[in-house]
Structure 1
């Protein structure tokens, strides 16, 4: 069924090619069956040169049915009426009408298709019950009402089948559009994930490097040993950033493969604390036991949220001796992170892109959680994130 569908719509996509295969098949079938149906209808006129020409003219018009569906349909109906008016036998001539009607309905010309088929039915009724007196075959009587019933049923069936095909084609088009939209969404989400990872890695490391570079320059002449410590911190932060950037880029080079190193989690929280301490901040952590046994996705989100929160303090705090309190708790079925910064905000441009808080919110939302950030009533700044854990008990390894 799928193979037939692909072949049919390859011929019916309006790509400029003529549907000569199906038109040729109709023409061959009409010519071959024309003589056979005359044996079943001995009272009709035998096929002569004119009859065979009319049987060829319908399929010839079908070659243009995708470019000009309405004119072709009316032309095929006119040829069919001429064929019936000449008294030739019923049969394969109606196949051209069916294909022309299908093309018109699928192209969206439903009213024109119903009008053309209705005109054909009315013309046949006129020929069979009034004009037959002056038309071949000689001495013919009015058409039996049983024949009229068959023609009526055939016309309704052709129109109904065309509507079904149109509906199915529209459904296939919607399905293809939905698949393309879903693929675009997946690509966009992956692009956003990679951009968020790079932002979090680079923003934190470069902020630490910027602070330590300033310390090193200020103390280069007066305290060379402290300047050396600052340079050592810069070297460690840059090495860590290069490693994480390389891990992110590896996912681009080999999509679908397992990463070569595990994603960072809260087991690396001591590294964040140490880097903040090198930047002159005082960081205290409560509830480190609650950070154990987290699912990888939750652990990565929690690590990046804390990393960005510390980066914002390094960037924006007006005091390089600001105190930061990190509190990690496990309320029922959740992980809660709270970061309190006691240092006053500078209110100036710290060189950030303004996407840090947005990135934290997106990470929390991606895990089905929430994130709030803002000034505290007693001064300073607070970041509060809540990530769901399902039925994981505290300390349970998943």
Structure 2
């Protein structure tokens, strides 16, 4: 999805008939079509209004039509240069009224100019132009009319001034509403874009964790067995053959799990072809650890868990055992599973000491376990034991398994 900049020039998306006449993006082409339509409306509407005001106002002449064309034509630049345009329309309209020409759609050019300035964020300019137009109209209608055409004209009624004031305020209020709505749309677009980026980051992090956990465990087993096979290739070919068989099985399982993770990228809308691993696969972990020379004792039974919690628990145990294979000199580990008071507790112990070997690891295992637990509202504690060895202790809330993380609910 292409991100939309909130500070980019804004174009009013009016009704379909308007966009057909003004479909050029702002800043690339001038709105010729809509301006021609507005000019036609102003000129024709003024001629029609003049028939009803022949006795009271001056007749339309070349100067009158020139003023109408200036006021309407200036709107051609209303999107690129809203500030000078609004003042040009106000000036042209005041000269038109001062010359005694008939009232009519010339007011519409001022309204469009002020509207464009307001929605472009030029509030001060728009309100100044409105004030100038109002003050100029009052000046012409109540004082300068004695010296301006048509001859014998009288002062305008204050009721008429109130009508014009109400009309101008209505236009300004509508423009303010459009501006506020535009800012709201911009904020909503920015929030949606931020939410989309956050979901993408979370998805990348999830996939990175999955790939790390799958590959780290399998590659550790392969690394150990490859070392055994090389050491025994000449002295004990049968044992070397067993090591190669273990390497083949571990690599096949790793490829299968990596393919399952990648399938979620290719077909995000489809259901996974295989169920996500859970604590019911602990015997497989024990068997894989045994093939790497690690004896694992499992204590306790896990309750029925939701898929998300089950997967996180499995990956935490898997990563903890992988770290024992990589970093511990102990060949024995204990996995204790317990549940109660709404939480699942996992404890993985080894008797150490640490060897400093990492088998090419990235060092992100503990961070990944912590992220998995935090995503469910749980905690991870990992560190050396007082009596030697290393312990990983995870607490995962069971009730979080049936709920979505709060950030996912907010993104909807």
TM-score of the superposed pair, with normalisation by structure 1 = 0.92
Distance in 1 separating the partners of 2:17 and 2:218: 53
Give runs of ≥4 in structure 1 deviating > 4 Å: 5-13
Query: How do residues 173-184 of structure 1 correspond to structure 2 at under 5 angstroms?
Result: 173-184=186-197
Deviation of 1:171 (Å): 0.7
Whether 1:313 and 2:324 are equivalent positions in the alignment is yes
The superposition leaves residues 323-360 of structure 1 with CA deviations (integer Å, 9 ceiling, x where unpaired) of: 21101111122221111111211245553211101111
Distance in 1 separating the partners of 2:147 and 2:323: 97
> 1:70–1:104: 8 Å Cα contact kept in structure 2?
yes
1:304 matched residue in structure 2: 315
2:151 matched residue in structure 1: 138
Distance in 2 separating the partners of 1:182 and 1:7: 33
Change in 2 beyond 3 A, CA 1:51/1:181: same
Partner SS, residue 67 of structure 1: coil
Distance in 1 separating the partners of 2:159 and 2:165: 10
1:119 matched residue in structure 2: 132
2:305 matched residue in structure 1: 294
Whether 1:31 and 2:43 are equivalent positions in the alignment is yes
> 1:369–1:386: 8 Å Cα contact kept in structure 2?
yes
> 1:334–1:388: 8 Å Cα contact kept in structure 2?
yes
Deviation of 1:223 (Å): 2.2
Distance in 2 separating the partners of 1:50 and 1:6: 32
TM-score of the superposed pair, with normalisation by structure 2 = 0.89
The runs of 5 or more residues in structure 2 that have no matched partner are 1-11, 402-412
From 354, 364, 368, the equivalent of 2:363 is 354
Distance in 1 separating the partners of 2:386 and 2:325: 21
Change in 2 beyond 3 A, CA 1:40/1:146: farther
Whether 1:335 and 2:344 are equivalent positions in the alignment is yes
Partner SS, residue 97 of structure 1: helix
RMSD after superposition: 2.2
Change in 2 beyond 3 A, CA 1:163/1:250: same
Distance in 1 separating the partners of 2:250 and 2:75: 72
From 19, 24, 33, the equivalent of 1:21 is 33
From 190, 194, 198, the equivalent of 2:211 is 198
> 2:299–2:336: 8 Å Cα contact kept in structure 1?
yes
1:165 matched residue in structure 2: 178
Deviation of 1:12 (Å): 8.4
The runs of 5 or more residues in structure 1 that have no matched partner are 393-398
1:395 matched residue in structure 2: none
From 271, 280, 289, the equivalent of 2:284 is 271
From 46, 66, 74, the equivalent of 1:53 is 66
Query: How do residues 83-122 of structure 1 correspond to structure 2 at under 5 angstroms?
Result: 83-122=96-135
1:366 matched residue in structure 2: 375
1:249 matched residue in structure 2: 262
> 2:27–2:79: 8 Å Cα contact kept in structure 1?
no
> 2:13–2:19: 8 Å Cα contact kept in structure 1?
no
2:407 matched residue in structure 1: none
The superposition leaves residues 340-383 of structure 1 with CA deviations (integer Å, 9 ceiling, x where unpaired) of: 11121124555321110111111112222221111111111111
Distance in 1 separating the partners of 2:268 and 2:33: 43
The superposition leaves residues 289-333 of structure 1 with CA deviations (integer Å, 9 ceiling, x where unpaired) of: x25x221111111111111111111111134x2x21101111122
- Number of aligned residue pairs: give it: 388
Structure 1 window deviating more from structure 2 (270-279 vs 24-33): it is: 24-33
2:396 matched residue in structure 1: 387
> 1:333–1:391: 8 Å Cα contact kept in structure 2?
no
Distance in 2 separating the partners of 1:80 and 1:2: 27
Deviation of 1:204 (Å): 0.6
> 1:12–1:66: 8 Å Cα contact kept in structure 2?
no
Partner SS, residue 379 of structure 1: coil
Partner SS, residue 39 of structure 2: helix
Whether 1:65 and 2:78 are equivalent positions in the alignment is yes
